[in-house]
Structure 1
Amino acid sequence: MKGKRRKFSSAFKAKVALEALKEKETLAELAQRFEVHAVMISKWKQEFLEKSAHVFDKEADQEEQVDPDRLYAKIGQLELENDFLKKSLKKLH
């Protein structure tokens, strides 16, 4: 019978990946210390390196975020304009 698959938090993976990047210990030593297979450490290290550039993309993320209050204000303004135009159209008929 197989055991349950262990799940690791992203914080734990980052910690292990950083330790692997420091190269103060071999993968075998890290694997023993963190009780994780060396192959997993290598994968986490590679993934960490690939995705590390996204840390500096905060400016792009902040520009893309939309202010909900501003959107609600715009919706309110458009509803008022729509109601005004409906009333004006009724007066013309």
Structure 2
Amino acid sequence: MLTGKKGSVPFIDIHGMRADEAKRQLEFFLTRTPPGVREVVVIHGYSHGQVLKDMVRHELKHPRIEAKLPSLNEGQTRILLKEPPGAEWTVPG
């Protein structure tokens, strides 16, 4: 698993993992994503990533997920996040 930032958007790379392992890693990643982060990118792969893509887009459930959006890159899915319970939005300024 590789994590980091693409520009200012955190990402996790799960391609090549088994679906059960990828799901565990994603759940951990989403739980540990700091409050205030509104979007993450999941890299699941394109040519051999259909099982992972389906898992991310249709099966993955987490309290922080607000929406799952396709990316222009078929090997990625964008996930919009809600604030974790008890956290407050902060407006920079």
- TM bin (shorter chain): under 0.3
Q: Which has the higher helix share?
A: 1
TM-score by length of structure 2 reads 0.25
- Larger gyration radius, structure 1 or structure 2: 1
Determine which structure has the larger strand proportion and give its number. Answer: 2
Q: Which of structures 1 and 2 has the larger relative contact order (alpha carbons within 8 angstroms, sep 6+)?
A: 2
TM-score with structure 1 setting the length? 0.25
